[in-house]
Amino acid sequence: MIKAITKRAISAGHIKVSDHLRFSLKADAVNCFGREIKSLQCGGTFTGRHDFWVWFPDTDNQEWSNEISKCGTKIYERKKGDAAEAKAYLKKQISDNKKHHVFLRSKVGNSTYYTYRGTFQLSIECSLAEKRAVWTRYDTQAETYAV
């Protein structure tokens, strides 16, 4: 069942950073992009059109170092631990070169929320220079659509 907040975003035809919509489940956010799923455990998934990835970075993660710039226009991502794994991950991201609709994970009291922070694309030049994925926001709104 599609929740009211998701229906609102779909009926608007877009979601904007300025909307400040907070989704309580990852699935609710993903369903704004042509999917109809009940739950999602992983950190991201393809949209219904397979040209965008929906990503839920967590700035407090044991396996990943995810940082968002103060202005909200850049996300820095690096796999913690094994340097070879981190290098392989970056190489895969460069090869895939997918755009990401980003919903940042945040905690308010005991509740977790996912808030749309924009659509980001990998900055290959910056990523290679910094040896970590550097995502740059190129849009503050994304088209939403039903299944």
61-71: pLDDT as tens digits: 888 999 999 99
CA terminus-to-terminus distance, the chain? 12
124 beta partners: none
Q: Name the pTM for this structure.
A: 0.90
Which residues are within 8 A (CB) of 45 and not within 5 positions of it... i.e. 6 or more apart? 30, 35, 53, 54
Q: Structure tokens of 25?
A: 């489940």
Query: Beta strands of the chain (E only): which ranges?
Result: 14-16, 22-23, 44-46, 52-55, 64-68, 74-79, 99-108, 111-122, 133-139, 141-143
Structural domains of the chain sorted by starting position, each given as residue range(s) with its CATH number in brackets:
4-143 (2.30.280.20)
pLDDT the model gives residue 123: 97
